[in-house]
Amino acid sequence: MGRFDARKDDLREIAQESRSRDEPVRQQQSASVQVRDHSSNQARTLSPAHSVHTQSYEQYRHFRLRPGRPRIPKPEILNRPDRQIPTPAIEARERNSEERGPRERDKPGRDLPREREISRSDHGLTDYETKVMTDIGRFRVVRVEDLAQFHGSRYRLMETLEDLRRRGLVETHLLRRHHGSAGMERVRVATLTHSGKRQLRRSPGWDAGQALYTRLVKAREAFHDSKLYAMYQCHVAGLVRQGAVIRRVQLDYELKREYLRDLRRREAQSGSTGRVLAEQVAADHNLPIQQGKVQYPDLRIEYETPGGDLARVELELATAAYHAGHLAQKQQAGFVLYAARGEQESVGARVRDDHELVREILSF
């Protein structure tokens, strides 16, 4: 007897064994079923296949119009017994699985994939979150698109801002402004909350001399103030290339507050007021006076030169609302004038006759 003949004999035995196992099931299925027709009130005999579907439909119709009832399991009559009888293929598969033992992923103690770990310091902020919140707090209101430009990936920044917003450390606002026939301008900005300010001040190595601002105070000035951060980054890039180290950033809010506080204190001590005292206080705060008025820059940057000396530079953001005389005073006060790229032409039109002043206006 050849090898193929032996194989045929094995297959015949397997087939005969399977038929003997399925015989009780076939006998059960061949039995007729008696049901009663409610329309004629007469009993009739149904075939096995018809009886299966009829009884299933009777159960389904009984439950489907009952609202609030839980979904019933599949009728037992549809769970065909022959499906539960193990075939030689199923037995062989089970036998092989028992010989192999448990799969690697089912073994106890297996290391599961861990979630992405985020390195947070003791004060609960990552280095990236600290940098973003510091820039927002120093400038009070910052455009989200500018943060994305100077803080790497836009996707990472938006994900970080959303996480900080959920934790109550940062707020976002949508500013709207009409431009006549040009339509409406919409800008998304970010501000620091009081909780975020407290959290940031607890961070290690924080400079107490750096002021932080919270909330959106003056929505009317928010469009102008939201551009200061981009102007700062544009100017600081040149200082950093020269080896300078930024120490502090002061806005006009802080400069006015410190000047007026010191002026009132000296007036109370001396019991006198006058132009001479105001000029002395302004000189102590490094604020120039033009035509009898103290000139406040939009932004003052204090930095350390490569030689270790402390220096400062004052920046002014010029807009289309500035007239020629106003721009001239700012330029004579020693401020570096900047104009946003979209407003440079309108600002230059105000001082078209003063070619020297036009050249002094930088763009970002």
H or E, element range at 81: helix 81-84
Please, which residues have CB within 8 angstroms of residue 284's CB and are 6 or more apart in sequence?
262
Q: What is the mean pLDDT of the chain?
A: 76
pLDDT tens-digit map of 139-182: 999 999 999 999 988 999 999 999 999 999 999 999 988 876 76
**Please, where in the chain does CATH 1.10.10.10 lie?**
122-223
pLDDT classification of 262: cutoffs 50, 70, 90: very high
pLDDT tens-digit map of 23-49: 665 565 555 545 455 445 555 555 544
Do 116 and 42 contact (CB within 8 A), yes or no?
no
Give 122-223's CATH code, choosing from 1.10.10.10, 3.40.50.300, 3.90.180.10, 1.10.260.40: 1.10.10.10
Phi, psi of 117 (to 5 degrees): -80, 135
310-318/33-37 β-pairing: unpaired
Neighbour count for residue 200 (Cβ, 10 Å): 21
Q: CA 163, CA 151: separation in Å to the nearest integer?
A: 16
Do 262 and 286 contact (CB within 8 A), yes or no?
no
Do 138 and 211 contact (CB within 8 A), yes or no?
yes
Neighbour count for residue 363 (Cβ, 10 Å): 15
Nearest to 128 by CA among 194, 198, 191, 203: 203
**Reduced to 3 DSSP states, what percent helix, strand and coil does the chain have, rounded to the nearest 5?**
50, 15, 30
Query: What order do you get walking across the sheet with 142-143 strand by strand?
Result: 142-143, 184-192, 170-178
H or E, element range at 45: strand 42-46
Q: CA 364, CA 358: separation in Å to the nearest integer?
A: 15
Residue 286 pLDDT > 90: yes
